[in-house]
Amino acid sequence: MSKIERVEVFVASPGRTFVTLRITTSDGVTGLGDATLNGRELAVASYLRDHVAPLLIGRDPARIEDMWQFLYKGAYWRRGPVTMTAIAAVDTALWDIKGKTAGLPVYQLLGGRSRDGVLVYSHASGTDIPSLLDDVERCLELGYQAVRAQAAVPDVGGTYGVRKGKVYEPAATELPDEQPWDTEAYLGFAPAYLEAVRERFGFGFHLLHDVHHRLTPIEAARFGKSVEGCRLFWMEDPTPAENQESFRLIRRHTTTPVAVGEVMNSIWDLQHLITEQLIDYVRTTVVHAGGITHLRRIFDIAALYQVRTGSHGATDLSPVSMAAAVHVDIAVPNFGIQEYMGHPDETAEVFRTGVTFANGMLYPSEEPGLGVEYDEKVAERFPYRRRYLPVARRLDGSVHDW
């Protein structure tokens, strides 16, 4: 019987920082998992090296569910982003191994295709309305059928979501970039630029917008009401989700669909949002919600309540996570959309992935497993660099919600 023989953790910064787990069996089969937790990468790397790896040696790699329960329940201290990201890396690597052993792509092990391709959305942004419109046009010309639109609020020093280079990368500084935030200015400006997008390009594509947790519930309700004419695919993270009851207030005032979940780590964090139908899309992802095993569990309960999937897919998810997400997306019955930002060229030097993009959709690799390879020798050229997401501050200087 095959046993887990070697567990390796790699930390590298090819374009951005990734933590990659590689498990090797006594049969010589390898599996990859993503263990990246943006801004707290070394915490997960240590959790894996110091606490998880010694527990895996000698165990049967085929017992994925048993391994998940062992790592989750056996630690006593449950949930949280560090624990769930570490478990996700192990779980994803074991699914990769199982697919290779079976000679099948992972999505076939999840029940096969429910659709031909995975609808994705791109990110368009601008420093003002004209530059945003130009960027939306760029996305549409690339074939995207769905576009997220963000623009910098005039006379406010910085707005999250605005691309500054070829690839949108918010975690770009070794210390957090402290950016000013003005809620009233945002509430006055954002509806105007979303309306401008619809006026110029019409309704022949899906339009999305990320509020990024920065409004109170009643402010979010006001915003959702004000953009109903834009027919948004969703408004994302309108208010911090720790207070799940707050979404009931938003629901009372607007029909704009709501997407939440990228900072949630478990089915228990999302239970009431889903079962009380307070959201329309759940944005949890493979790497931060316990891997393929637990993500599928979240999506299954969401399907019962007509909540669709819309997994997070920013550049802080490595190509391993993106591949795993696409395998899940292609299989689940309640798929909605997948975020897709791509990666810088340096990332492609370290990771090879069989995921392909065409006509606004992603398609999984047909290779056994996830179809991803990691080159640790090339990764050595990109030593670890500390990078953090920006921090928002109100105009009075106090720290604002994300």
Catalytic site residue from 123, 206, 209, 212: 212
How far apart CA 312 and CA 315 sit, in angstroms, is 10
Q: 215 is written with which tokens?
A: 């409004």
- Pair 92, 34: CB distance under 8 Å: yes
Q: Which of 58, 4, 53, 51 is nearest to 31 (CA)?
A: 4
Active-site annotation holder among 47, 107, 160, 281? 160
Spatial strand order in the sheet of 18-25: 4-12, 18-25, 30-34
Tens of pLDDT along 51-83? 999 999 999 999 999 999 999 999 999 999 999
Q: Write the Ramachandran bin of 28: left for phi over 0, alpha for psi from -120 to 50, otherwise beta.
A: left
Q: Using one digit for the tens of pLDDT, what is the confidence trace for 119-160?
A: 999 999 999 999 999 999 999 999 999 999 999 999 886 666
Q: What is the pLDDT of residue 273?
A: 97
Mean predicted confidence (pLDDT) in 225-234:
98
What pLDDT is attached to residue 165?
60
pLDDT tens profile 175-200: 888 888 899 999 999 999 999 999 99
Cβ–Cβ < 8 Å for 24, 93: no
Residue 33 scores a pLDDT above 80 = yes
* CA separation for the pair 343, 315 (Å, rounded): 6
41: Cα within 13 Å, side-chain hemisphere: 25
CA 170 – CA 14 distance, rounded (Å): 15
Residue 40: CB partners within 8 Å, gap ≥ 6?
81, 82
Provide the pLDDT for residue 387: 86
Q: Would you say 283 and 274 are in contact if contact means Cβ atoms under 8 Å apart?
A: no
Beta strands in 231-350, from DSSP E residues, in sequence order: 234-236, 258-260, 281-282, 308-309, 338-339
Q: 391 pLDDT band (50/70/90 cuts)?
A: confident
Half-sphere exposure of 105 (CA within 13 A, CB side): 22
Residue type, 48: L
Q: Model confidence over 106-121: pLDDT tens digits?
A: 999 999 999 999 999 9
**In this predicted structure, what is the pLDDT of residue 145?**
98
Residue 56, both tokens: 């895996």
pLDDT > 70 in the chain, percent: 96
- The model's confidence at residue 396, banded by pLDDT at 50, 70 and 90, is confident
Q: Which of residues 168 and 400 earns the better pLDDT score?
A: 400
| Average pLDDT over all residues of the chain | 95
What domains can you pick out in the chain, each with its CATH number? 4-105 (3.30.390.10), 109-369 (3.20.20.120)
Q: Can 144 be counted among the known catalytic residues?
A: no
Check: CB of residue 169 under 8 Å from CB of residue 217: no
For 119, the token pair is: 């609808």
Q: How far is CA 382 from CA 11, 375, 377, in A?
A: 9, 12, 10
Residue 168 — pLDDT band, cuts 50, 70, 90?
Answer: low
For 149, other C-beta atoms within 10 Å of its C-beta total: 26
Decide if 209 is catalytic. no
Yes or no: say if 262 and 312 are a contact pair by the CB < 8 Å rule.
yes
Judge contact between 338 and 325, C-beta under 8 A. Answer: yes
Provide Rg for the chain, Cα atoms.
21
DSSP-based helix, strand, coil % in the chain, nearest 5: 40, 20, 40
Give me the count of residues in the chain.
402
- Give the sign of the dihedral formed by CA 51, CA 99, CA 364, CA 24: positive
- pLDDT of 7: 98
Question: What's the whole-number mean pLDDT along residues 280-296?
Answer: 98
Nearest Cα neighbor of 186 from 399, 392, 397 is 392
State which H helix or E strand residue 199 sits in. helix 183-201
- pLDDT score for 159: 67
pLDDT class of 402 with cuts at 50, 70, 90: low
Per-residue pLDDT at 343 exceeds 80 = yes
pLDDT at 148: 98
Give the confidence band of 167 by pLDDT, cuts at 50, 70, 90.
Answer: low
Instruction: Give residue 177's pLDDT.
Output: 82
